[in-house]
């Protein structure tokens, strides 16, 4: 990997206007999400692909979690 490059991976975003702080994501993928001031936050913006991240996005009752390819921004979850 070249310096300054993050390599392949996923980008995580939680829409704070949609998040209701249910905590399902933090329970499903505790290495990737946590609750801050009652709302979900990704612990890192870019992560290696992981099934737990997809499970968290798919289980969010408000579809507040967006998982996309880090470089192309192509949406991965929830399914469009």
> How does pLDDT run across 1-20, given as a tens digit for each residue?
333 344 569 999 999 999 99
pTM: 0.86
Task: Report whether 32 contacts 49 (CB < 8 A).
Answer: no
User: Cα 49 vs. chain centroid, distance in angstroms?
Assistant: 10
Task: Report whether 9 contacts 46 (CB < 8 A).
Answer: yes
Task: Report whether 26 contacts 33 (CB < 8 A).
Answer: yes
List of domains in the chain: 15-75 (3.30.70.20)
Secondary structure (H, E, C), 15-78 = CCCCCCCCCHHHHHCCCCEEEECCEEEECCCEECCCHHHHHHHHHCCCCCEEEEECCCCCEEEC
Q: Is the pLDDT of residue 52 over 60?
A: yes
């Amino acid at each position: 990997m070249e310096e300054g490059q993050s390599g392949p991976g996923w980008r995580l975003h939680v829409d704070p206007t949609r998040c209701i702080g249910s905590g399902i994501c933090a329970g499903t993928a505790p290495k990737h999400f946590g609750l801050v001031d009652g709302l979900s936050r990704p612990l890192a913006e870019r992560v290696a692909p992981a099934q737990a991240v997809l499970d968290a996005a798919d289980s969010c009752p408000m579809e507040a979690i967006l998982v996309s390819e880090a470089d192309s921004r192509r949406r991965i979850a929830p399914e469009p």
